[in-house]
Structure 1
Amino acid sequence: RCPFQQTAYPECGLACARALEERIQAEGPETAAAFIVEPVMGDFGTVAGPDEYYTRVGEICHKYGLLLIADEVTTGFGRTGTLFATTGWNPQPDLMCLGKAITNGYFPLSATLVTAPVFERFMTKANSFIHGVTHGGHPVGCAIALATINIILEEKLPENSARVGAYLRAGLDGLKERRPSIGDVRGQGLMQAIELVKNRQTKEPFTSKETYDIFLDVVMGGLLVSIRANQLRLMPPLTSDEALVDEMMRIMDRGLDKHLTAEISKKVRLVKEFAASKIRS
């Protein structure tokens, strides 16, 4: 759903990139410091733009003197099939924000990477960067990050993400062919999502309740997914293999089955799980 009412690329002429340049011109380049972009927007539908978009955005930023900042907190360290989602960008970002996978979630740590020209601006007393960080440079956190990065590189997890991610995407595309409730499949590597719709032509979305019912059944079937609006997002471990993806697809397929018998079975499972949770509590 393009906010610029475009329906296809490249016919759209990258209206989104043009909008950035038009806004810079309208506000005045001297009032703009940077443009922040998330290579794959996780909480906004797992949407990624075409490669040309990032190239054009980088060129626009450099043309008007803006810094290009890439938020790789979610996509960084192999999630999308390369070590960083911005690996192939040209021009490269001036700043990059990292976190989450940098310690595999074992310790709260984040990092900001900058290019040499940006770093050198802070190397004189007149331009020193004064900032207090209570736990900055935490030795345990840094040790965990180094160990995590070594494993990611030595076990070639970005490459595994690319291979298994392609297999996952093929599986989701197969589900889309069988399940008309899937209006779109999108994502990169092991960061994929499906959008649930009542009608593919009108793109009328599932209601929150309808989406949540499917979400519950998928989770109770043994697959943890995240939910936002009418979308279900799959972000399996970077160590996933094809056998795990096959099991994921079986669970997803059952959760998406809207036939009457399937709906009755689903309600029975929900009641059983609810009863079991009461007993455990």
Structure 2
Amino acid sequence: MGSIGEDEVKHNNTTDLGSLIHKTGLTSKKSTSAVLHRSLHHDPHQAVHAKGNYLCLSNGQKIFDATGGAAVACLGSNDERVARALIQQLTDGVSYCHSLFFATVAVEQLASLLTSSTNNIMTRAFFTSSGSEAIEAALKMARQYFLEKQQPEPQRTHFIGREQSYHGTTVGALGVGGHRARRKLYEPMLSKNASFVSACFSYRGRLSVDEIDKAYVARLEAELEAEFQRVGPRNVVAFIAEPVVGAALGCVPSVPGYFAAMRRVCDKHGALLIMDEIMCGTGRVGPAPTAAYPNPLHAWQDPSVGVAPDIMTMGKALGGGVLPVAAMLVNERIVNVLAQGSGAFSHGQTYQAHPLACRAALEVQQIIKNDDLVSNVREQGALLGKLLKRSLADHPCVGDIRGQGLFWGIEFVQDKAIKEPFNPADGVATGIHELGMRPPFNISIYPGNGSCDGERGDHILLAPAFNVTKADIEHVVGTVTRVIETYFHSKLSLPHVEKDLS
């Protein structure tokens, strides 16, 4: 396999993206796989081994995974402690049993750990195999709550979400997500009992740079109130939102005071607040400690959010990608209503509370806690943001750099002054990802689209493992900077700008 030198990538003004791809010898081959991959035309790279931050491919490449897959591999790959825990569960414990008939130690311990991490504000946990399934459970739980109250409210069937949000790919979850491109094919199948208000998106949502946080939040609060009134305040089941928006917008934190305002509207009309922490939760954003939460784990525990949900969902970093696992947590008020009513959640799945998956998640969460990895997320995340801004803020095609903890996004524009996105047909984010995968860069970067209006707008995400070092962060920023400069040099004939990251 051929490759090119880093100096050639940086300095050869005759090197364009097409010739770079040709010289690497990594042009895609026609699919021969029996697997229904993401593309029917080309097979993905074959990963044959993984350890720590690196994925080894069948072609000999060693790829630095700067995104933990989809912000999943919070401990990197193949942690020996997790492996030992799974072997123990398989040999001395239970590999599978039906949750309708049996409980297991691993599931009970994981639920106890998670509810304790909320200061027991959330009192019960329900475990699924994916984030989409956790959202489905949350929607059903919210509906059942209103049916089982002492004074039932069966008319509550409507959910309010946010534009450019994403909560999962199943029909119910997709129905409460506002990402237009992801909804488009399935729009006729999706629930009509959902509507959307503006995202809390500082870069694109403010009326001007002079609109302060308080005014911006007040405007979003008024918009949510107006939507409640439009659909009928007593028809709304819940408002659902991500504390830090992940793939749909590219790591967008909420403005301080925003969720307190959303909570006020929900409480005023008796609706529930659902927070989707599938991508941003379980330590990913490095929530800051407070007197109430000295060892915070959840994004809602950060002072910038400041309010607890009625229902929350978790996934991704919950199990670190070792086995498929996600969760829905509910607060005491909801549990009490069901306890005094039917006494059961009218929902269940074959692999609900899978013992092996929950044992993996339990070990991952114990490692995060015992190794104080959320503190490392805060420390290395601050460095990641600082170096990204120093290196790329002045790039003519970088519109915004935002994020929190080890969860950062970079949005690309063709005109910074008016924040004009690239044409979706240009495939900018995907092109940057594909270039990063090639030598000499050898880095995996997560591409995203729709950050402008749900269809237009390109961004990438960086979400490395919680145990990364300063040297890892410097490597990520330096490599990503070179990838972006090389890509736009080829695309727009822009000069390379060398950065000192020391």
Query: For this structure pair, what is the TM-score category when the shorter chain's length is used for normalisation?
Result: 0.7 to 0.9
For residues 6-41 of structure 1, give each alpha carbon's deviation from its aligned partner in whole angstroms, at most 9, with x where no partner exists. 554324353222211111122221100111111111
| 1:225 aligned partner, one-letter code | I
Q: 1:259 and 1:132, CA in 2 relative to 1: closer, same or farther beyond 3 A? A: closer
1:1-20 equivalences under 5 Å are 2=204, 5=207, 7=209, 8-10=211-213, 11-20=215-224
* TM superposition shift of 1:62: 1.2
Unaligned runs of 5+ in 1: 265-281
For residues 164-208 of structure 1, give each alpha carbon's deviation from its aligned partner in whole angstroms, at most 9, with x where no partner exists. 011000011012344222110011111101111122101122343
1:160-179 equivalences under 5 Å are 160-179=376-395
Which deviates more, 102-111 or 125-134? Answer: 125-134
CA distance in 2, matches of 1:127, 1:66: 21
Task: Pick the aligned partner of 1:85 from 296, 299, 311.
Answer: 299
Q: 1:27 and 1:61, CA in 2 relative to 1: closer, same or farther beyond 3 A? A: same
For residues 223-249 of structure 1, give each alpha carbon's deviation from its aligned partner in whole angstroms, at most 9, with x where no partner exists. 211111311111111111111111111
| 2:266 aligned partner, one-letter code | C
CA distance in 2, matches of 1:188, 1:52: 16
Task: Pick the aligned partner of 1:102 from 307, 318, 321.
Answer: 318
Identify the residue that residue 474 of structure 2 maps to in structure 1: 246
Contact 1:218 1:255 in 2 (8 A): yes
Is residue 227 from structure 1 mapped to residue 447 from structure 2 by the alignment?
A: yes
CA distance in 2, matches of 1:123, 1:202: 54
Is residue 24 from structure 1 mapped to residue 240 from structure 2 by the alignment?
A: no
CA distance in 1, matches of 2:321, 2:442: 21
* TM superposition shift of 1:258: 5.2
Q: CA RMSD for the aligned pairs?
A: 2.3
1:67-216 equivalences under 5 Å are 67-82=272-287, 83-88=297-302, 89-126=305-342, 128-207=344-423, 208-216=426-434
* TM superposition shift of 1:216: 2.2
CA distance in 1, matches of 2:390, 2:206: 30
CA distance in 1, matches of 2:348, 2:307: 31
CA distance in 1, matches of 2:259, 2:460: 26
| 1:241 aligned partner, one-letter code | T
| 2:432 aligned partner, one-letter code | I
Unaligned runs of 5+ in 2: 1-202, 288-296, 450-457, 492-502
- The number of aligned residues is 264
| 1:239 aligned partner, one-letter code | N
Give SS of 1:255's match: helix
CA distance in 2, matches of 1:22, 1:101: 36
CA distance in 2, matches of 1:205, 1:125: 52
Give SS of 1:195's match: strand
* TM superposition shift of 1:209: 3.1
Contact 1:165 1:188 in 2 (8 A): yes
Contact 1:73 1:98 in 2 (8 A): yes
| TM-score (norm. length: structure 2) | 0.50
Identify the residue that residue 60 of structure 1 maps to in structure 2: 265
Contact 1:165 1:189 in 2 (8 A): yes
Q: 1:12 and 1:125, CA in 2 relative to 1: closer, same or farther beyond 3 A? A: closer
Contact 1:176 1:184 in 2 (8 A): no
1:40-51 equivalences under 5 Å are 40-45=244-249, 46-51=251-256
* TM superposition shift of 1:54: 0.9
CA distance in 2, matches of 1:138, 1:241: 33
Greater percentage in helix: 1
Contact 1:77 1:152 in 2 (8 A): no
For residues 112-167 of structure 1, give each alpha carbon's deviation from its aligned partner in whole angstroms, at most 9, with x where no partner exists. 11111111111135463222221122211121111111001011111111110110
CA distance in 2, matches of 1:219, 1:176: 20
CA distance in 1, matches of 2:216, 2:347: 43
For residues 57-113 of structure 1, give each alpha carbon's deviation from its aligned partner in whole angstroms, at most 9, with x where no partner exists. 112111111111110111111100021110134431111111121111111112111
Contact 1:98 1:111 in 2 (8 A): yes
Give SS of 2:301's match: coil
Q: 1:64 and 1:90, CA in 2 relative to 1: closer, same or farther beyond 3 A? A: farther
CA distance in 1, matches of 2:308, 2:228: 20
